[in-house]
C-alpha cells in the first residue's frame, strides 16, 4: 500500500481499519482504470471516486464505499468477479455484481437487454438495498456529467432516469436524489421549458424574498410564544415539480408560484401536533387541505403533517411539519438506516416497509416469465396511477386505476368482452364489476350465446369498453332485449312490493300503452336496451289499478342524495334540498334531477314518458355542492375573511378560484357544501354582512 495516499475528507467518519480497506480498493480501481478516459476527457477513475464520495455523504459503511470504487472494474477492465472475491471478500463482490451491467450477453433486442439489467439490479437490491444506493449514486454522477454524450444517448439516458431511477429514489425515500435526477432529466428532455421556468423562478425569487421572510418571522414568533423549539425554512419547489404541476393541472407559472411553501422541524411527534394547532391559530386553514402522514405514513416511510393555510397576503401557504427523525428519513430515505444507526438497533418502520417492498420483488420475479415482464410489473409500484394485470398466459395489460374485470375483457378483445359471462381473479370467481388491483391475474369466461348486459355500462371504466357495450346493445335481438327487460322489470316490481312482471294484468299494460303510446313488448325492449329505467316503469304500472279507470294516487319519488349511479343531480342546475325539482329520464344515464326552471327540461315537460315526479326526502344522506360568486373589494386578507365566514357557517370549501375585475374588485368563485337551501341562505346572509363584499350570487348554469 502506498504510505502517502490521502483519501478525500468526505471519508473521515470511517474508523482507521475501514480507511485502510478503502485505500486498498481505491488503489486497485485506480490501477484497473489507468489509461481510460470519460467522454469529457477526464480520467475514468474520477467517476467511481465521485460515486463513492456521494455515498460517503450518507455515511454508508465501508463495504458499500469499496463497491462504489470497484463498480465498473468487472465491466470495463480485465478484472474478473473471482478477483474481487479473493481481494475484497464475497460481500463486496456481491454488491459489485449487482451493479454490473450484462453487456457481454447477447439479447434479442436492446429493450430486452435493458430489462434484464434492471431485473438483475432490482433482484440484487431485494437481497441487499445497498446495491440500488450505489446504482443511484452512479446514475446521479452520470447525469451531472451528461453533456459530453451524443444527443441520442442523452435523450435515452434522461428518459430512462425519469422512468426508472427517479421513481426508485422516490420509492425509497431518497428525496434529494429524486429531485435532482428529475430536474437534470427535465433539463435534457425539455431544455427550452427548463430554461424558461428557471428564469421565471429566479425573477420571482426577488419579489418573494421579503414576503417569505415576513411569514417565516411570524411563524417563528408564534411558535416561540407557544414554547415550541422549531427550525422554520422557506421550501422551494424543484423545477420539474413546477413544470409537472403546470402541465397536469393546466396552471400558469404565476398560479403555481403564488403558493408559498414552508417546512417546520420540531423535536418530537407531540410537538408536531402542537405546532399544527399553533399555525391554525395564526392563519386560517383551508378546509380539506390537511393530510396526516404521521398517523398514516406514505409507502416509502415518509412522515409529516401537511396543511394549507390562508396567508397574510391572500396567497395559500403550504406547510410541512415534521420531527427531526422524520426530517432525516425524508432527506436520506433508506440510507438513514446506515447514517444514524446505533449498534444493533431494531429496524424502524421505514426500514420494515422498505424491506417488505424489496422482498416482494422476489415474489414478482417468481411469477414473471421474462425480464421485460418483470420490469413492467415493477413499474406498478413505481407508477401507482395505473393498474397492471396479467392474462392467464402471463401477458401484461395496463388499465387505468378503477378499471374492472369487464374493462379487462374488452381490452383483451372485443369478442371476449361481448361474450363474457364471468371472470376469475387470482383463481377465484368474482363479479365482472370487481375493481382490479396491481398484479391481479384475470381470466374471463365466455359463451357463444352470451351478450352484453346493460348494467355493465354503469361499472365499465374505460371508454373502449363503454363504447363496445353500447354498440352491442344496439344490435341485440328484439326477443333477447324483451326477455332481459322482463327480468329487470320483475326485480323492480318485487322491490316496490308488487309481484312478477308475468302477473301484471292486460288492463294495466293497456293503460300504460295508452298513455305512453308504446306496446308493452316495446316497453320491455326499451328497458332491456337501457332506454327506460325498470323502476320508473314499475312505479307507473303499480300506480294504475286494473279495476279503475283513473290513475291511483301515488306520491312522488323521494330523493335522499345518495341513490347511486341510477339517480344523479344535474350538473346544469346543481339542485339542492329546498329547490323545486323534477326528474328527467335520460337514455343510458338514468334519472337526472333538475330544478323546475332548468332550461334542460323545458322541452320535455309535456312528455310524461320523459319525466318523473320527485321530491326531496325529509332525511337526507349527504351534503350538496353549490357554486357561488362573491365580488369583493381588493383589500388585504379579504380571501381569509370570506373563507372564515363560510367555515363559521358549518360549510366546507371544495374549490376556490379568483378572477380580477376592472377597477378595484375581484370575483371569488367558491364551491361549497350545504345541507339545503336554508343553509345556503344563512351562509349568503353572513357573507353580505362583510363590509368588503359587494355582490354575492348563486351560480346554477
Residue 76 is a catalytic residue? yes
Please, are residues 632 and 641 in contact by the beta-carbon 8 Å criterion?
no
In angstroms, the CA 148 to CA 40 distance is: 5
Nearest 5°: the CA angle 45, 57, 299 is 115
Q: Which phi and psi angles does 381 have, rounded to 5°?
A: -80, -25
Which residues are within 8 A (CB) of 696 and not within 5 positions of it... i.e. 6 or more apart? 628, 629, 630, 631, 684, 687, 688
Q: What is the residue whose three cell numbers read 463495504?
A: 63
Please, are residues 624 and 576 in contact by the beta-carbon 8 Å criterion?
yes
Please, are residues 27 and 1 in contact by the beta-carbon 8 Å criterion?
yes
Please, are residues 139 and 154 in contact by the beta-carbon 8 Å criterion?
no
Residue tagged active-site, from 30, 75, 198, 563: 75
User: Which helix (H) or strand (E) element contains residue 536?
Assistant: helix 534-542
Q: Which phi and psi angles does 80 have, rounded to 5°?
A: -100, 160
For residues 217-251, one letter each, b for 16 or more C-beta atoms within 10 angstroms of the residue's C-beta and e for the rest, the string is ebbeebbeeeebebebebeebbbbebbebbeeeee
Residue tagged active-site, from 18, 61, 76, 331: 76
In terms of Cβ atoms closer than 10 Å to its own Cβ (0-12, 13-18, 19+), residue 502 is exposed
In angstroms, the CA 138 to CA 147 distance is: 16
In angstroms, the CA 642 to CA 174 distance is: 40
Q: Crossing angle, helix 175-189 and helix 324-332, to 10 degrees?
A: 40
Which residues are within 8 A (CB) of 665 and not within 5 positions of it... i.e. 6 or more apart? 631, 632, 633, 634, 694
Hey, which residues does 615 pair with through a beta bridge? Answer: 558
Helix/strand/coil (H/E/C) assignment for every residue in 164-179: HHHHHHHHCCCHHHHH
Nearest to 505 by CA among 541, 549, 539: 541
Residue 661 is a catalytic residue? no
In angstroms, the CA 300 to CA 329 distance is: 10
In angstroms, the CA 344 to CA 694 distance is: 66
Active site (catalytic) residues = 75-76
Amino acid at each position: 500500500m502506498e504510505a502517502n495516499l490521502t483519501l478525500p475528507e468526505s471519508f473521515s467518519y470511517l474508523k482507521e481499519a475501514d480507511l485502510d480497506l478503502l485505500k486498498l480498493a481505491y488503489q486497485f480501481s485506480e490501477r484497473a482504470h489507468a489509461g481510460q478516459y470519460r467522454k469529457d476527457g477526464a480520467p475514468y477513475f474520477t467517476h467511481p471516486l465521485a460515486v463513492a464520495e456521494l455515498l460517503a455523504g450518507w455515511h454508508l459503511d465501508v463495504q458499500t464505499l469499496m463497491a462504489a470504487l470497484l463498480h465498473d472494474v468487472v465491466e470495463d477492465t480485465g478484472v474478473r468477479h473471482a478477483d474481487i472475491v479473493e481481494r475484497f471478500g464475497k460481500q463486496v463482490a456481491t454488491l459489485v455484481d449487482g451493479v454490473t451491467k450484462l453487456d457481454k450477453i447477447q439479447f434479442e433486442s436492446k429493450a430486452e437487454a435493458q430489462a434484464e439489467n434492471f431485473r438483475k439490479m432490482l433482484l440484487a437490491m431485494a437481497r441487499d438495498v445497498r446495491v440500488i444506493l450505489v446504482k443511484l449514486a452512479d446514475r446521479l454522477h452520470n447525469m451531472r456529467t451528461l453533456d459530453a454524450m451524443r444527443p441520442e444517448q442523452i435523450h435515452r439516458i434522461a428518459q430512462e432516469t425519469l422512468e426508472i431511477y427517479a421513481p426508485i429514489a422516490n420509492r425509497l425515500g431518497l428525496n434529494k436524489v429524486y429531485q435532482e435526477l428529475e430536474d437534470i432529466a427535465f433539463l435534457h428532455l425539455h431544455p427550452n421549458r427548463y430554461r424558461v421556468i428557471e428564469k421565471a423562478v429566479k425573477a420571482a425569487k426577488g419579489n418573494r424574498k421579503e414576503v417569505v421572510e415576513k411569514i417565516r418571522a411570524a411563524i417563528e414568533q408564534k411558535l416561540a410564544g407557544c414554547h415550541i423549539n422549531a427550525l422554520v425554512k422557506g421550501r422551494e419547489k424543484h423545477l420539474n415539480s413546477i413544470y409537472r404541476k403546470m402541465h397536469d393541472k393546466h396552471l400558469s407559472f404565476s398560479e403555481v408560484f403564488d403558493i408559498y411553501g414552508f417546512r417546520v422541524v420540531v423535536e418530537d411527534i407531540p410537538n408536531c401536533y402542537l405546532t399544527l394547532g399553533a399555525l391554525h391559530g395564526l392563519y386560517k386553514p383551508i378546509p380539506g387541505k390537511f393530510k396526516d402522514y404521521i398517523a398514516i405514513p406514505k409507502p416509502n416511510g415518509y412522515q409529516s403533517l401537511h396543511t394549507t393555510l390562508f396567508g397574510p397576503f391572500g396567497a395559500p401557504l403550504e406547510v410541512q411539519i415534521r420531527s427531526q427523525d422524520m426530517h432525516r428519513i425524508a432527506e436520506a430515505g433508506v440510507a438513514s438506516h446506515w447514517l444514524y444507526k446505533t449498534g444493533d438497533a431494531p429496524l424502524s418502520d421505514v426500514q420494515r416497509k422498505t424491506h417488505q417492498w424489496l422482498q416482494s420483488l422476489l415474489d414478482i420475479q417468481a411469477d414473471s416469465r421474462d425480464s421485460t415482464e418483470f420490469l413492467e410489473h415493477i413499474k406498478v409500484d413505481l407508477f401507482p396511477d395505473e393498474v397492471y394485470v396479467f392474462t392467464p398466459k402471463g401477458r401484461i395489460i395496463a388499465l387505468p386505476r378503477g378499471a374492472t374485470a369487464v374493462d379487462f375483457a374488452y381490452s383483451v378483445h372485443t369478442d371476449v368482452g361481448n361474450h363474457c359471462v364471468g371472470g376469475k381473479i387470482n383463481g377465484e370467481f368474482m363479479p365482472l364489476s370487481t375493481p382490479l388491483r396491481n398484479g391481479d391475474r384475470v381470466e374471463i369466461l365466455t359463451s357463444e350465446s352470451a351478450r352484453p348486459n346493460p348494467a355493465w355500462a354503469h361499472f365499465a371504466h374505460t371508454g373502449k369498453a363503454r363504447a363496445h357495450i353500447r354498440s352491442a346493445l344496439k344490435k341485440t335481438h328484439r326477443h333477447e332485449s324483451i326477455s332481459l327487460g322482463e327480468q329487470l322489470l320483475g326485480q323492480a316490481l318485487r322491490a316496490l312490493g308488487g309481484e312478477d312482471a308475468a302477473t301484471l294484468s292486460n288492463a294495466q299494460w293497456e293503460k300504460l300503452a295508452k298513455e305512453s303510446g308504446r306496446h308493452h313488448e316495446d316497453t320491455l325492449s326499451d328497458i332491456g336496451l337501457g332506454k327506460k329505467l325498470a323502476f320508473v316503469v314499475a312505479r307507473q304500472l303499480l300506480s294504475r289499478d286494473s279495476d279503475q279507470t283513473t290513475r291511483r294516487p301515488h306520491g312522488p319519488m323521494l330523493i335522499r342524495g345518495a341513490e347511486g349511479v341510477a339517480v344523479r343531480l344535474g350538473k346544469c342546475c346543481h339542485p339542492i334540498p329546498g329547490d323545486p325539482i323534477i326528474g328527467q329520464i335520460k337514455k343510458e344515464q338514468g334519472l337526472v334531477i333538475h330544478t323546475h326552471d332548468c332550461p334542460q327540461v323545458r322541452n320535455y315537460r309535456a312528455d310524461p314518458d320523459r319525466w318523473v315526479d320527485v321530491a326531496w326526502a325529509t332525511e337526507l344522506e349527504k351534503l350538496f355542492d353549490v357554486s357561488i360568486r362573491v365580488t369583493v373589494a381588493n383589500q388585504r386578507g379579504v380571501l381569509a375573511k370570506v373563507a372564515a365566514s363560510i367555515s363559521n357557517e358549518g360549510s366546507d370549501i371544495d374549490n376556490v378560484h379568483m378572477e380580477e375585475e376592472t377597477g378595484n374588485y375581484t370575483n371569488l368563485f367558491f364551491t361549497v357544501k350545504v345541507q339545503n337551501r336554508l343553509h345556503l341562505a344563512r351562509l349568503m346572509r353572513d357573507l353580505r354582512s362583510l363590509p368588503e363584499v359587494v355582490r354575492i350570487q348563486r351560480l346554477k348554469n
